[in-house]
Amino acid sequence: MKRQIYTAEHEAFRATVKEYIERELVPHAEKWETERIVDRSAYTAAGKYGLIGFNMPEEFGGGGSDDFRFNAIIDEELAKAGVHGPALSLHNDVVGPYFKELANDEQKQRWMPGIASGELIIAIAMTEPGAGSDLAGIRTSAVRDGDDWIINGSKTFISSGINCDLCVVVARTDPEAGHKGFTLFVVERGMEGFTRGRKLDKMGLHSQDTSELHFENVRVPNANLLGKEGRGFYHLMTNLPSERLPGIASTRRPNSPVAR
């Protein structure tokens, strides 16, 4: 049955997605699945095809669209092809909105062009070895030191943890404030004390790396605080519902009810 929710513009976008999958993903899919990580070139290629950043502001190289149907088309076509290369849903649907909604003008100038082009791979680090779905149990801490924050702690099961250049880290900045004591920070590749742990095994989506992250006295400038201090929990609660929308479609093969 033909669905009525898509317009001619959406179907033209679908054709672009299919071309990208056939040219940029299919030839390398087996290699990436074996190596348990996708090559970074898959992200920059997605940027050139317009499959990354279409929901980012045009002034930073994005498409300026808030139409979630474009996000859905990418997930549908990846699921149909049974190819799961770069974590486009994570980039567009999950982490991208944090930068779009919370970054200040200076941060947008600094990060958004690279996010929209696929040159900067993004991730978010919430889950910890002792704190999964219970965000209130997060123990990673950030302590103010002059114009910087010192972050200590560990995260696990972080999608794109190995590949990421920018990682939104949830840290406790006030141990006495309960859910009002969390703040979001952007930790960048190469910051001293920021290390990648094991690349974790999992049942499916093997080419989309999942890993441990460790923070040992990582000095992060206050300029990398994302959103408002002490409002991290509220920022997460705002974004989490939309993050869950594409999850099922992007993890299934055609005609199979079982996630890979």
167 pLDDT above the threshold of 90: yes
d(CA 118, CA 115): 5
Find the mean pLDDT for residues 28-55. 93
Domain total for the chain? 2
Q: 92 and 129 share a domain?
A: no
Rounded CA separation 58/241 (Å): 25
Structure tokens at 73: 């088309």
Q: Please list the residues that pair with 170 across neighbouring strands.
A: 184
260 inside domain: no
For residues 196 and 165, membership in a common domain is answered with: yes
pLDDT, mean of residues 11-26: 97
127 neighbors 156 (Cβ within 8 angstroms): yes
Residues 101 and 171: their CA atoms lie apart, in Å, by 19
> Does residue 251 carry a pLDDT above 90?
no
What number is the average pLDDT over the span 190-208?
A: 89
Q: Which residue, of 117, 139, 170, is where some domain finishes?
A: 117
What DSSP state is assigned to residue 122? E
d(CA 203, CA 50): 30
Same domain, 98 and 209: no
Are 233 and 171 in contact by the 8 Å Cβ rule? The answer is: no
143 and 222 assigned to the same domain: yes
Q: pLDDT band for position 253 (50/70/90)?
A: very low
pLDDT at 51 over 50: yes
Residues 106 and 156 in one domain: no
Read off the pLDDT of each residue in 44-72 and give the average, rounded to a whole number.
Answer: 92
Whether 252 has a pLDDT exceeding 80, the answer reads no
78 and 174: one domain? no
Q: Name which of 108, 89, 127, 247 is nearest 186 in CA terms.
A: 108
Q: Which residues pair with 123 in a beta bridge?
A: 167
Q: Is 146 left (phi over 0), alpha (psi -120 to 50) or beta?
A: left
What pLDDT score was predicted for residue 137?
Answer: 83
Q: Is residue 223 part of a domain?
A: yes
Q: Which of 23-32's residues contact partners 24+ apart within 8 Å by CB, and which partners?
A: 24/49, 24/85, 25/81, 25/83, 25/85, 25/86, 26/81, 26/83, 28/85, 29/83, 29/85, 29/207, 32/85, 32/206, 32/207
Cα(135)–Cα(239) distance, rounded to whole angstroms?
14
Other C-beta atoms lying within 10 Å of the C-beta of residue 136: 11
- Is the separation of the CB atoms in 184 and 173 below 8 Å? no
Residue 76 annotated as catalytic: no
Global pTM reads: 0.89
CATH no. for residue 112?
A: 1.10.540.10
Identify the CATH number of the domain in which residue 152 sits: 2.40.110.10
Question: Taking 90 as the threshold, does the pLDDT of residue 12 lie above it?
Answer: yes
Residues 131 and 105 in one domain: no
100-127 CB burial, b ≥16 within 10 A, e <16: bebbeeebbebbbbbbbbbebbbbbbbb
Percent residues over pLDDT 70 in the chain: 91
Point out the catalytic residue in the list 35, 76, 229, 243: 243
For residue 185, the enclosing domain spans 122-241
Residue 257 has pLDDT above 60, yes or no: no
